[in-house]
Amino acid sequence: MDSPSSAARTEWPTGRVATSRDRAIAAALRRLNRRFDFSTCTAYLLTDDAQALAAAMMVDTSLSFTVPSGMAADDANFSAARAHQSGKLVLFQNADLRELTRRVPALFLTNPYPMMVASAPVRTSHRRFGALSVRWVPPRPVADEVLDHLRTVAEELAAELQGLARQGVSMTAPELPLFISAVSRGGAPAAERAGLDAPPAPKPTSSTFLYQLQRLAAELTAAVHIQDVLSAAHTQVVRPFGGRAVMLCLAEQGRLHVVGAAGFSRQSVHRVEGTLLSRPTPETDTIRKIEIRSFASAQALREAYPDDEADPEAQARAYLPLVSHGRATGCCVLEFPEPASPFVPEELAVLTIMLEQVGLSLERARSYELEHALTQTLQRSLLPRSLPHLTEAVATARYLPATERAEVGGDWYDIVPLPGGGIGLVIGDVEGHSLEAVAVMGQLRSSVRAYATEGHDPATVLERSNRLLAGLDTELYVTCCCVWLDLSTGTAAIATAGHPSPLIVDAQGRNVTGPLPAGPPLGVETRTRYEQSEVLVEPGSVLALFTDGLLDGRLLGSDAAMEKLGRVLSDHCGDNLEVLADRLVADRRAWHVLADDAALLLLRYEGAETCGHRRMASMSVQRHHLQGVARVREFLRDLLSEWDMEPLQETMELLTSEVVTNALIHADSEVELRLREYPDRIRVEVRDSDPHPPVPTAIVADEEINQEAESGRGLLIVDALAGDWGSSPAGRGKTTWFDVTIPTA
């Protein structure tokens, strides 16, 4: 700081008190700016530890916000640092900067367009203070007179600073640089010399760019998913610069992948997706060379890349590298209506800063979505791979993960074969959303299966599981419900530990559950004794076990939510079980944000086998084994002959082949085929591990689009020929089913 004897202090427009050092630096910068036309003009001083140079003051121009705020004092990639170390004037031509940028991609953020930089050291024979640095955008021939003047001003400033330093004035760079007004070559500030009758043409100012950056930053801060980042880029980057479309690409494992596009056709996206980085295209060249590539028309693009596959819909385009964490991570493609005007340097500078933020947000959103997908996969992998295929009962399940965050929950369900031929229905919910909750869930699911297969009744299974949970050294508690169903008599033994009671309705929709005793959750008290009760389940009855995430308790209250769920179950108990399951979860699926996981286990008790119309069959096909479709057709021919239903053979083969083929192509899993005979129809179910339902593709007039849509055509055939059909997520995957009517005699 200045000593008390220094000259009187003045006030800068920023409100900061100016020292004699500041006035000396400002005078030097104005001497440079007054005599020659520079795009930027900056003074750098050493930081407190003398390990770095920081911008201390700069002339306020439309490009001043692009000047590097600082660098290591020995970083030879910057002309200011190189001049400071060498004690000589350093001139970087545009070619030098391009080569530096290829070696150090992070430099693109400060050198996005052609330019030239000159820096002179501010030093005396006794002390080094920093450097003066100027830029020309675009680059131009520089006379020796200009460089001599820069060197002279730097030397004179060094001598003045040395005198001030001897008086005790601090030479440490400030936290933030000061901006001084530009001076025209005539001597007066440019704002004062502008004639009132002929004002200069309006140009974007630093304030305009800062406003754009602030709006983009606000949207990117709130962005969670890739779609959010894409929307922010389209509205805050593309449209303000007159663009009509944007495509964001990331380089991964030697290929270019499109992670988001708005305004581009599907064909344009497919042309870029999966491109080898070694193949010369405008996108890959932009990443490899780390430079902006701009084409004012589609013709200019085709002339630059005659060997590249032509995009028939291309218009004027700009290709900009995405640089993140010091490396080129991808490419942003912007498309403009023709004819497109070239970017001015100020626009390129702000575009570069914007796209840096977009690239960082894109990586963050992609990491979030990958993490979310991973946690959902982990959760689903702990659910049953498949529910039993029984003549006495039909079962299905639904699982809806929470969407508020990426953590996994602890909801689970299971159907366990019991000694003596019965089945055990289990559903549970571990407190919280964390990997610990999943670990506890996995251990409890295994223990319940083990205790059940040993022949213990539901109450004993809960008591033993409660003691097991106490030994797991966890503070989490667990709710659980066990229903043991005797398939020969329809008797159900039920015990619950802090869990919602199951709902059971008969074939007429009457609730037959009644009040059931409920014990505390597992993990609350080690010595808890659980009670169980028995209910007689008539043939045609439906049992529904669920976790509290399925109940809309926050809005309706738990009792009203349970009553609402019971009404839906009673009113539609005769529906196809898959359709009924979708009805029961419809309200929760309609919510865009789910605060809790939800699980549903649904079973229809058909009763003990009493007639011939209860036949069923099943087979499986290994994943990606498309030749297995021929085995499916052979299996159907033999089965329908055995069941004396040859007239259905052609329809059954066609429909089943289409659904199985679709599952083999799109699901990375084994495919299971199940058939069940009813008096009036045959139900066919195809189960795989992909939870996303297939969507029939509409037939349109454009034959080329029809050919692309061939993969969805099979489901249109199913829709046309099947009596009824549907597809629903079911636990770890989905079930696509259809009915084929048995013709009457």
For the stretch 69-111, pLDDT in tens is 889 999 999 999 999 999 999 999 999 998 898 888 888 877 7
Which band of pLDDT confidence, cut at 50, 70 and 90, is reported for residue 671?
confident
Mean confidence (pLDDT) of the chain: 81
In DSSP notation, 653-706 reads HHHHHHHHHHHHHH-SS-EEEEEEE-SSEEEEEEEES--SPP-PPPP-S-HHHH
State residue 8's pLDDT score.
Answer: 39
Q: Mean pLDDT across the stretch 43-68? A: 89
Residue 692 scores a pLDDT above 80: no
126-130, 208-212, 243-247, 344-348: which range is least confident on average? 208-212
pLDDT at 3 over 70: no
Query: How many CB atoms sit inside 10 A of residue 49's CB?
Result: 8
Q: Inform me whether the pLDDT recorded for 120 exceeds 60.
A: yes
Residues in the chain, how many?
Answer: 745
Q: Are strands 178-181 and 52-60 parallel, antiparallel or unpaired?
A: parallel
Q: Is pLDDT at 192 greater than 60 in this prediction?
A: no
pLDDT of res. 495: 94
Strands (E), 566-670: 598-605, 616-621
* 624 Rama sector, left if φ>0, alpha if ψ -120 to 50, beta otherwise: left
What pLDDT is recorded for position 460? 93
| 519-529: pLDDT as tens digits | 899 988 888 89
DSSP string, 121-159: EEE-SS-EEEEEEEEESS-----HHHHHHHHHHHHHHHH
Cα–Cα dist 196/473, whole Å: 81
Phi, psi of 45 (to 5 degrees): -125, 160
pLDDT of 267 = 82
pLDDT digits 0-9 by tens, 589-620: 665 556 678 889 999 998 876 544 578 888 88
pLDDT on residue 385: 77
When pLDDT is averaged across residues 527-548 and rounded to a whole number, the result is 91
Residues in CB range of 437: below 8 A, 6 or more apart: 408, 409, 410, 430, 431, 476
Mean pLDDT confidence for 638-661:
88
Neighbours of 345 (CB within 10 A): 18
Summarize pLDDT for 306-344 with one digit per residue, the tens. Answer: 876 656 667 888 898 888 777 888 888 988 887 777 777
Instruction: Give the model confidence (pLDDT) of 133-152 as tens digits.
Output: 999 998 988 899 999 999 99
Mean pLDDT of the region 410-433: 88
Q: According to the per-residue pLDDT averaged within each range, which of 134-138, 206-210, 222-226, 390-394 is highest?
A: 134-138
pLDDT for residue 472: 80
Percent of the chain exceeding pLDDT 90 equals 26
Confidence of residue 202 (pLDDT cuts 50, 70, 90): very low
pTM: 0.53
Q: Report whether pLDDT(413) > 50.
A: yes
pLDDT-based confidence at 668, cuts 50/70/90? low
> Ramachandran region of residue 270, left (φ > 0), alpha (ψ -120 to 50) or beta?
alpha
The domains of the chain, with CATH numbers, are 10-192 (3.30.450.40), 206-375 (3.30.450.40), 384-605 (3.60.40.10), 616-741 (3.30.565.10)
Question: How much is the pLDDT for 553?
Answer: 55
Contact in structure between 28 and 156 (CB atoms under 8 Å): yes
Could you tell me the pLDDT band of residue 427, with boundaries at 50, 70 and 90?
very high
- pLDDT recorded at residue 721: 66
What is the per-residue pLDDT for 11?
Answer: 44
pLDDT, residue 109, reads: 75
pLDDT of residue 719: 66
pLDDT at 700: 30
